[in-house]
Structure 1
Amino acid sequence: MARKPKYKEGMVVHPSLGERVADVIIGIILLACMALAIIPMWHTLMASLSDGNLLLAHNGVLWKWVTADGKPNWDGYIKTLSYDDMAIIKSYAYTILYVVGNVLVGLVLNVIAAYVIYRKPKASGIMMLFIIISLMFNGGTVPTYMVIRNLGMTGTVWSMILPDCTNAMFIILTLNAFKQVPKSTIEAAELDGAGHFTIMFRILLPQAMGLVTVTMINTAIISWNAWFNAMLYVPSDKNLWPLQLWIKQIVADNATLTTATSPDWNRYLVSYCVIIIATLPVLIAMPFAQKQLQKGSLMGAVKE
């Protein structure tokens, strides 16, 4: 005899005491995580609008800018934009170039690599083994630098794009996205005379774009925040420095500011202003990318 369902259709089910307690705990944890993310950023924003001398004398978190007249001080941003012959503005342009280059080159490499394994050639098992091994082991900084140097890419834009434009995880994610496309679609395209590149970029890629977009967004974020490769491959050519390496340089330069005979306190604010300038594009873009990230990340977990 079939067991009757606990709840009938149309019934209003009230949460139990345990569920209410769990909701409160989850809410508290989320609020704590939100505070940990917002408070440091708010402190940096208020510090960038403060007077440098008064800021050094202040202890604790800044909830409002500290100036002698009570008005926000914009001199730090003016100093930042004119820093080292407009270096911040130039590095902004190069950082955008690196992000676009990494995303586009990474997209092509991810699609081609995933497609080769997707077609299951005789060596697909060995290819997949190499990809998985690269997830666990890395050649190291020195061997990678030697390869880039021997290829003649040190001191060029390509040294900032090619080394980190893709990785094994992004290839696996793209492969999983391709596996969600019905086989019948590929077979129909082949009967119509479609070649490999047509199947890759006109059949598979549009249907797998949800998860592929996740790899593109993550590539963009990684590239935007990268500075270590620039320190290795373009250390002497400051014209090619990305924004993040300039932040590191500015913080290092300001470390000795307080020991100067007549310090420029607005220069001390540059460390805070450049962080706001560097973070602003990500803060603006993330709300638009959040929905796509959530949608694409769940694609591989859903089985029809």
Structure 2
Amino acid sequence: MLSLANPGLLGQPFATSTLWGAVQYLNAGEHAPAHRHTPGAIRFILQGDGVHTTVNGDACDMHPGDLVLTPSWNWHDHNSSAEHPVVWFDGLDLPLVRALDAVFFENFPDEQLQDVIGQHNRSEGLYGRPGLLPAGTGDRTHRHSPLLIYRRADIDAALTALLAQDGGPMASLEFVDPTSGRPVMPTMGCEMHRLLPGRRTPTVRKVGSSVVVVYTGSGSSIIDGQRFDWTSGDMLAIPSWALVEHEASEPTDLFSITDAPVLKALGLYREETSMVGQEVRRVFP
């Protein structure tokens, strides 16, 4: 595993002051024993398949472009039956939970794997149909989404439909709890953005930080007057209240995590949009 250590955070191994990001590599036939922790986590699959993550007994099969949730204090383990490595992006709210002195960690008994309960992808079977929920779910009390896996095929279809309707330079989706419409976790939101080539997005700044993963495509972002060129597999850390705009040089999909749910719950969230582009004062590196 390689964590994203932002040099602006004075040696702390975090991507932003509230978000932790990493690239995890699971080798062919490898297993990661079950454990749980209070920081919530997401896994966005970048490369490979033949792997599943088991969350509280629900084995979620993982494929490129899928999003898997491992919410706070849920048992989870990773299991590979593949003949090749699998790579995914890990996103956690660890810095935030650490700042609140609320980090707890526990290994599964005897550091073993969980038993899989029923068929694979149980949450997808229950909650993965748009507009259709099992009867009685209105009384649910969990604070995270009961749907643990969001599929690339559904994400791609939704982005395609949004672009066809809107016609703008970018279409954006938020991953939500299908029973409530709230963010997938109370401390961390997830989004997917599709950029059309050759069209610069409006300049936006938001309270709250984010980490962006370039899933497909290439282009550049201007962050507070500095241009960052990127291609598939690159990652960006965007600070709170930074001016941000993107321009793709080919069709591009960007995945991102954000701490916005916390700021909205506290009444501190705000954002501004401008159609005036930024002047590029420097280029990274």
TM-score bracket, normalised by the shorter chain, equals: under 0.3
Structure 1 length as normaliser, TM-score?
Answer: 0.21
RCO (CA 8 Å, sep 6+): is it higher in 1 or 2? 1
* The structure with more radius of gyration: 1
Output the TM-score relative to the length of structure 2: 0.22
Could you say which structure has the higher helix fraction?
1
More strand by share: 2
